[in-house]
């Protein structure tokens, strides 16, 4: 069972639902964070390090666009049941890696697997059916479908989605009803239930993010990949989104997310992977990352805060002045050139 | 005044005529393609031509029974849809548009070419294939019947009756599909393919199913047209008909079950009313002959339809049945 359909966790609309899901769910709730964190405690903070219980394993994946190597990852393991943050400067290849992992793009070389199953040649919908579901950086709410229809689309294994059986309502009515109930539970949890009959296109940006996440959960995924879930969302909603992401972990899902806000990353992730120029340059616990030299260099450039010696200072000053002089001469000569041209 | 009532009656006949059935079936197919699935098929007439010639060739050339001809026409449309879809449905929407418009024109040119004359009859086409079909009519097809001030031949009436039953059945099928989860997936594909893929649906298969289904509706339209005119001539199947069907679809309201049906009826009504009305006004001298001659009317009525559609898009972009809220939504 990939995920519990009944809502529970910090943002459940009806907290007493946990009673119906049995003691096992309650137990995983009691000490959720520690499961992944404890498992990762003794893992060294090295690139490509083996995890105790990896859900996704990536090996030698490269993707080039012309001469640009967008992704070149030698080895990466994602711990099951934890929240893994994927960070890196713009153009680091985070989204490309997401596209590769979910079948939206095909790599030049490399293999990757989920639960030991090779995902190499699968198309996006096949990957999704295995339980790896993603969201998009630019939210893809299905505008001219209602919120509820958006949700129902996420449900898997619907008999009514086959052409012939769609014509016989008896084959899908009961399933549709069950799916609608589950969708409404999720919508209540994401506080979108009042909007269920509105077109998704009429929602605000933040609500669309919520809807996209809720829709992904309708498919009862094992792995949720969120591409910048907090981008363009106001701070109040960010808190609620964060709560929802934490809930996913508490339901036993593996979460991978791309994010730029370091406070967010530090707050919720159990493990952080840093990419730059297509490579994984560091990984480790959230606290380890801000002290990591490779990471700081990737974000701010090497030597950005190294103290200068006096000679260096003089040299930089001289270079600056030379550059300034050259620039001024350039301006003057171009002005003279213009005068000459206009004078003629 | 009597002239106008007469024009109204003639236009009323066009409202129910087999040409309205023809456009309704084309537009129902386009509604499945464009209105629901977001596929840009600009060559719907090719499916209609295969339907019409499927019957014509099977019956008058191969001597097969009429119903076998219908099956041949449907199968030809299915094959065309598969051929068009296989290379293009994995690509962006514009590729299907390019391929369909080229196919529709190319196929017509092939059918009217000299080398195809032994099979398709070339520019003269084929005729005398609808006898079996007309013979099925439960009334005397040799007689003429007066209905609501218009005169119909028995055969015409039979074609129209069968045609509207077909339109009703096709609309019913579309309605049944679109209220089911299948319709939801297809509409979602119209909105954003990648989102649907990420939710585990095989987008390619759904697009192909929609293309085939709409193509079959188009083939039915061509069949009604062929039995209605009693002949199948390649130049009847000009691609302008595809765009008239699009006009009908937008007039009625896309992504609505009855939109294409009512749209086609109104389109034919307006065309015929403008035609007869203007002609009678000219012959009465209300419009001076130096301003407008009777030969200009045929062109002018399309100008009027064009202006009408423009006004519609400005003041009622959702068409007759559409939901304004839905149409005005930002596409993203």
CA distance A218 to chain B (A): 9
Is the pLDDT confidence value at B99 over 90?
yes
Q: Do A136 and B188 touch (CB under 8 A)?
A: no
Residues A225 and A256: beta-carbon distance below 8 Å: yes
Q: Which of A318-332, B81-95, B214-228 bottoms out in mean pLDDT, i.e. has the lowest? A: A318-332
Better-scored residue on pLDDT, A9 or A131: A131
Q: Do A142 and B180 touch (CB under 8 A)?
A: no
CA distance B77 to chain A (A): 18
Is the pLDDT confidence value at A187 over 50?
yes
Q: A45: burial class by Cβ within 10 Å (0-12, 13-18, 19+)?
A: middle
Task: Kindly state the tokens that stand for B117.
Answer: 């004359």
In this prediction, residue B88 carries a pLDDT of: 92
Is the pLDDT confidence value at A23 over 60?
no
Find the mean pLDDT for residues B125-133: 88
Which residue out of B90, B200, B204, B212 would a mutagenesis test of the A interface target, given it has the greatest number of A Cβ atoms within 10 Å?
B200
Q: Do B194 and A201 touch (CB under 8 A)?
A: no
Better-scored residue on pLDDT, A316 or A238: A238
Cα(B317)–Cα(B251) distance, integer angstroms: 9
Residues B260 and B244: beta-carbon distance below 8 Å: no
Beta-bridge partner residues of A86: A258, A273
Average pLDDT, chain A: 81
Is the pLDDT confidence value at A5 over 70?
no
Is the pLDDT confidence value at B115 over 90?
yes
Better-scored residue on pLDDT, A307 or A217: A217
Cα(A154)–Cα(B18) distance, integer angstroms: 43
In this prediction, residue A170 carries a pLDDT of: 92
Chain B residues whose CB is inside 8 A of the A173 CB are none
Name the one residue in this structure whose structure tokens are 């509820």: A148
Strands A279-284, A271-276: pairing kind: antiparallel
Tens digit of each residue's pLDDT (9 = 90 or more) over A157-178: 999 999 999 999 999 999 999 9
Find the mean pLDDT for residues B238-247: 94
Find the mean pLDDT for residues B27-55: 95
Provide the edge-to-edge strand list for the sheet that holds A109-114: A68-79, A54-65, A109-114, A117-118
Better-scored residue on pLDDT, A336 or A57: A57
Closest CA to B261 of B245, B284, B273, B274: B245
Chain B residues whose CB is inside 8 A of the A195 CB are none
In this prediction, residue A8 carries a pLDDT of: 42
Beta-bridge partner residues of A72: A62
Is the pLDDT confidence value at B104 over 90?
yes
Give the one of B183, B191, B199 whose C-beta lies nearest to A219's C-beta: B199
Find the mean pLDDT for residues B192-197: 92
Give the one of A124, A167, A212 whose C-beta lies nearest to B197's C-beta: A124
Chain A residues whose CB is inside 8 A of the B188 CB are 142, 145, 149-150, 153
Which band of pLDDT confidence, cut at 50, 70 and 90, is reported for residue A19?
Answer: very low
Domains of chain B as residue ranges with CATH: 2-327 (1.10.3470)
Chain B residues whose C-beta is within 8 A of a chain A C-beta are 173, 176-177, 180-185, 187-188, 190-192, 194-203, 209, 325-326, 329-332
Cα(B46)–Cα(B236) distance, integer angstroms: 11
Which band of pLDDT confidence, cut at 50, 70 and 90, is reported for residue A336?
Answer: low
Cα(A237)–Cα(B34) distance, integer angstroms: 37
Tens digit of each residue's pLDDT (9 = 90 or more) over A256-287: 999 888 888 888 888 999 998 888 988 888 88
The sign one gets for the Cα dihedral B40, B45, B48, B54 is negative
Domain extents for chain A? Answer: 15-300, 308-344
Share of chain A above pLDDT 70, in %: 83
Which band of pLDDT confidence, cut at 50, 70 and 90, is reported for residue B130?
Answer: confident
Which band of pLDDT confidence, cut at 50, 70 and 90, is reported for residue B325?
Answer: confident
Which band of pLDDT confidence, cut at 50, 70 and 90, is reported for residue B5?
Answer: confident
Which band of pLDDT confidence, cut at 50, 70 and 90, is reported for residue A342?
Answer: low
Q: Do A143 and B198 touch (CB under 8 A)?
A: no
In this prediction, residue B330 carries a pLDDT of: 57
A123 part of contact set with chain B, CB < 8 Å: yes
Element holding A223 (H helix, E strand): strand A223-227
Domain A15-300 has CATH 3.40.50.300: yes
CA distance B332 to chain A (A): 6
Q: Within 10 A of A255 (CB to CB), how many other CB atoms are there?
A: 25
Closest CA to A104 of A221, A225, A208, A217: A225
Better-scored residue on pLDDT, A21 or B57: B57
Cα(B194)–Cα(A62) distance, integer angstroms: 22
Find the mean pLDDT for residues A18-47: 58
Q: Alpha carbon B18 to chain centroid distance?
A: 11
Tens digit of each residue's pLDDT (9 = 90 or more) over A192-246: 999 999 999 998 888 898 999 999 999 999 999 999 888 878 888 888 888 888 8
Is the pLDDT confidence value at A3 over 60?
no
Residues B213 and B39: beta-carbon distance below 8 Å: no
Alpha helices in chain A (DSSP H): 22-30, 32-41, 94-101, 124-129, 147-154, 163-166, 173-189, 205-218, 235-250, 262-268, 286-289, 293-300, 310-343
Q: Do A166 and B209 touch (CB under 8 A)?
A: no
Task: Kindly state the tokens that stand for A92.
Answer: 């680091």
Query: What's phi and psi for A297, nearest 5 deg?
Result: -65, -40
Tens digit of each residue's pLDDT (9 = 90 or more) over B205-239: 999 999 999 999 999 999 999 999 999 999 999 99
In this prediction, residue A34 carries a pLDDT of: 58
Residues B163 and B227: beta-carbon distance below 8 Å: no
Cα(B194)–Cα(A206) distance, integer angstroms: 20
Which band of pLDDT confidence, cut at 50, 70 and 90, is reported for residue B51?
Answer: very high
Which band of pLDDT confidence, cut at 50, 70 and 90, is reported for residue B289?
Answer: confident
Tens digit of each residue's pLDDT (9 = 90 or more) over A104-122: 988 899 888 898 888 888 8
Name the one residue in this structure whose structure tokens are 């910090």: A10
Give the one of A154, A167, A169 whose C-beta lies nearest to B199's C-beta: A154
Q: Write down the ipTM of this complex.
A: 0.86
Residue of B nearest to A153 (CA): B185
Give the one of A125, A143, A172 whose C-beta lies nearest to B201's C-beta: A125
Residues A56 and A255: beta-carbon distance below 8 Å: no
In this prediction, residue B22 carries a pLDDT of: 96
- b/e code A280-311 from CB counts within 10 Å (16+ = b): bbbbbbbeebeebeebbebbeeeeeeeeeeee
For A227, residues 6+ apart whose C-beta sits below 8 A from its C-beta are A94, A95, A98, A134, A135, A136, A137, A257, A258
Q: Do A167 and B177 touch (CB under 8 A)?
A: yes
A158 part of contact set with chain B, CB < 8 Å: yes
Q: Do A142 and B191 touch (CB under 8 A)?
A: yes
Cα(A222)–Cα(B196) distance, integer angstroms: 18
DSSP state of B34: I
């Amino acid at each position: 069972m990939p995920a519990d359909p009944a809502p529970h966790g910090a943002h459940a609309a009806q907290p007493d639902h946990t009673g119906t899901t049995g003691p096992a769910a309650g137990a995983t709730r009691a000490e959720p964070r520690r499961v992944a964190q404890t498992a990762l405690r003794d893992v060294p903070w090295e690139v490509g390090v083996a995890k105790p219980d990896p859900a996704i394993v990536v090996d030698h994946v490269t993707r080039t666009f012309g001469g640009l190597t967008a992704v070149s990852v030698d080895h990466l393991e994602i711990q099951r049941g934890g929240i893994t943050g994927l960070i890196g400067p713009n153009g680091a290849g985070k989204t490309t890696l997401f596209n590769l992992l979910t079948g939206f793009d095909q790599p030049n070389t490399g293999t990757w697997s989920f639960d030991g199953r090779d995902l190499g040649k699968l198309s996006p919908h096949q990957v999704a059916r295995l339980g790896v579901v993603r969201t998009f950086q630019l939210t893809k709410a299905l505008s001219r479908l209602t919120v509820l229809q958006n949700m129902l689309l996420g449900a898997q294994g619907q008999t009514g989605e086959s052409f012939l059986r769609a014509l016989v309502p008896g084959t899908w009515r009961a399933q549709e009803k069950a799916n609608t109930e589950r969708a409404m539970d999720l919508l209540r949890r994401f506080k979108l239930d009042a909007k269920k009959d509105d077109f998704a296109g009429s929602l605000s940006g933040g609500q669309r993010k919520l809807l996209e996440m809720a829709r992904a959960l309708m498919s009862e995924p094992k792995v949720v990949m969120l591409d910048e879930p907090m981008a363009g969302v106001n701070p109040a909603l960010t808190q609620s989104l964060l709560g929802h992401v934490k809930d996913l972990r508490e339901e036993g899902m593996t979460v991978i997310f791309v994010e730029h806000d370091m406070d967010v990353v530090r707050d919720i992730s159990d493990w952080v992977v840093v990419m730059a120029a297509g490579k994984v340059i560091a990984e480790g616990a959230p606290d380890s990352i801000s002290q990591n030299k490779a990471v700081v260099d990737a974000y701010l450039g090497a030597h950005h805060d190294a103290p200068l010696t006096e000679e260096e200072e003089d040299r930089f000053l001289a270079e600056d002045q030379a550059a300034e002089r050259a620039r001024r001469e350039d301006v003057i000569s171009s002005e003279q050139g213009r005068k000459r041209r206009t004078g003629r | 005044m009597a002239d106008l009532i007469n024009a109204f009656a003639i236009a009323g006949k066009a409202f129910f005529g087999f040409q309205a059935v023809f456009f309704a079936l084309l537009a129902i197919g386009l509604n499945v393609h464009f209105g629901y699935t977001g596929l840009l098929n600009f060559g719907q007439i090719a499916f209609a031509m295969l339907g019409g010639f499927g019957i014509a060739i099977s019956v008058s050339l191969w001597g097969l029974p009429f119903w076998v001809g219908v099956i041949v026409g449907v199968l030809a449309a299915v094959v065309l849809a598969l051929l068009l879809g296989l290379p293009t449905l994995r690509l962006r929407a514009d590729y299907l548009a390019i391929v369909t418009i080229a196919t529709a024109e190319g196929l017509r040119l092939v059918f009217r070419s000299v080398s195809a004359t032994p099979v398709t009859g070339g520019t003269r086409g084929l005729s005398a294939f609808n006898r079996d079909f007309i013979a099925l009519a439960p009334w005397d097809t040799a007689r003429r019947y007066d209905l609501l001030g218009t005169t119909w031949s028995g055969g015409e009436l039979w074609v129209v009756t069968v045609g509207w039953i077909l339109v009703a059945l096709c609309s019913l099928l579309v309605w049944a599909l679109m209220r089911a989860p299948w319709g939801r997936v297809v509409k979602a594909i119209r909105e954003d393919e990648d989102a649907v893929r990420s939710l585990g649906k095989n987008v390619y298969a759904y697009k192909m199913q929609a293309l085939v289904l709409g193509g079959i509706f188009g083939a039915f339209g061509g069949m009604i047209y062929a039995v209605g005119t009693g002949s199948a001539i390649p130049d009847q199947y000009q691609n302008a008909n595809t765009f008239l069907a699009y006009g009908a679809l937008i007039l009625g309201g896309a992504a609505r079950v009855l939109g294409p049906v009512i749209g086609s009826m109104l389109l034919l009504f307006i065309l015929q009313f403008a035609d007869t009305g203007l002609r009678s006004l000219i012959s009465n001298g209300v419009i001076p002959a130096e301003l407008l001659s009777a030969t200009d009317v045929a062109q002018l009525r399309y100008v009027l339809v064009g202006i009408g559609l423009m006004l519609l898009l400005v003041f009622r972009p959702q068409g007759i049945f559409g939901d304004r809220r839905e149409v005005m939504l930002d596409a993203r």
